[in-house]
Amino acid sequence: MKFLVTMMFSLSCLTPMIASAEVNVYSYRQSFLVEPLFAKFTELTGIKVNTIFASKGLIQKLQIEGRNSPADLLLTSNSTRLVEAQELGLTQSIQDSAIEEAVPSTFRDPAGNWFGLTIRARLIYASKERVQENDITYEELTSSKWNRRICSRSGKNDYNIDLIASMVAHHGFEEAKLWLKGVKENLARRPQGNDRAQVKAIYVGQCDISLGNSYYFGKMLANKEQQEWARSVKLLFPNQGNRGTHVNISGMALTKYAPNRDDAIKLMHFLVGEEAQKIYAEVNYEFPVRAGVDLSPLLKPYEGFKSDEIPLIDFIKYRKVASILVDQVGFDE
């Protein structure tokens, strides 16, 4: 009996040492969006997902932790942070046919350091009452007909920097500079606020058009205070007659020292799978990166829009140049 009790005690001491399967995620994406995805993943696989959410500082945290970091996966709300993490040597490349088949080459790193999860278009929000045009190009934003009719957030905002970088990629430095100067001259007010604030400015008559990410339309309609703002505008997808509308991504990267690498890759598979992609589309009003996934009813009318086919890596490399241009033309002044 004494032997049996001693043996049971020994086994009970060993039990906590048998680690359960888990994945640790550092996420720049908001908890309301990704937690339902992680819950479903755990339900299907039994793998627990531990998450740290933050709007900033996660890449710096990875740097400080180094080899001792518990993080397996980094989720971001834009490509900027994915590339930053890669350039700092905080990611590892993977060659995985299932992920590569789900994510078009335009929306992933060729070496496999990061992959897109959702697509967001940089649209023109236009007043239904005061703007007759239904087809506007980015280049046309410099036209005198838009004088003092454009609202914008800061030129240094990541989404605007990416758009400016794409203009450099398409037109070269000097032409992109002239374009940005022309847009600044057409501003109705000094750049301020976020994308939603520009739509509110259109609603109250401070300006007639603005640039904004596509998913904010759905977010405003879901917010009682902002519904009227959203209903006052129409969505215009620029450059449909030529190169297509500028797009960016939210995405994921496997961390360099991922302690739970195999299970993290299983989570990556799930996030590009049909079920997770549908949740992304329905909850956050984003375009799935995976082809063939149903859009939210709100975005269904815009299904099949023509996006700019330039690979992300071909314009992201001009981000620093874009930032310099913002300063040179005094866009935010």
pLDDT digits (tens, 9 = 90+) for 35-86: 989 999 999 999 999 999 999 999 999 999 999 999 999 999 889 899 999 9
**Closest-CA residue to 53 (of 33, 38, 31):** 31
pLDDT band for 304, please (50, 70, 90 cuts). Answer: confident
Predicted local confidence at residue 122, as pLDDT: 97
**What average pLDDT does the chain have?**
92
On the CB side of 209, CA atoms within 13 Å amount to 30
Mean pLDDT along residues 207-220: 94
d(CA 124, CA 212) in angstroms, rounded, equals: 6
Please write the tens of the pLDDT for every residue from 305-324.
999 989 999 999 999 999 99
Strand partners, 48: 22
Which domains occur in the chain, in start order?
A: 2-119+248-302 (3.40.190.10), 120-246+314-328 (3.40.190.10)
Phi-psi region of 97 (alpha: psi -120 to 50; beta: other; left: phi over 0): alpha
Separation of alpha carbons 310 and 170, rounded Å: 9
Beta-bridge partner residues of 22: 48
* Lowest mean per-residue pLDDT among 7-16, 70-79, 135-144, 317-326: 7-16
- Three-state secondary structure of 18-58: CCCCEEEEEECCCHHHHHHHHHHHHHHHCCEEEEEECCCCH
Measured between alpha carbons, how far is 238 from 245 in angstroms, rounded to an integer? Answer: 5
With cut-offs at 50, 70 and 90, classify the pLDDT of residue 101: very high
At residue 99, the 3 state secondary structure works out as helix
Between 309 and 260, name the one with better pLDDT.
Answer: 260
Q: What is the mean pLDDT of residues 217-224?
A: 92
Q: Which residues contact 256 (CB under 8 A, 6 or more apart)?
A: 89, 90, 91, 92
Q: Beta-carbon neighbour count of residue 92 at 10 Å? A: 15
End-to-end CA distance of the chain: 83
CA dist 177 and 174 (Å) reads 5
Render pLDDT for 144-202 as a digit per residue (tens, 0 to 9). 999 999 999 999 999 999 999 999 999 999 999 999 999 999 999 999 999 999 999 99
* CA–CA separation, 54 and 134 (whole Å): 38
Q: Where does the pLDDT of residue 18 fall: very low under 50, low under 70, confident under 90, or very high at 90 and above?
A: very low
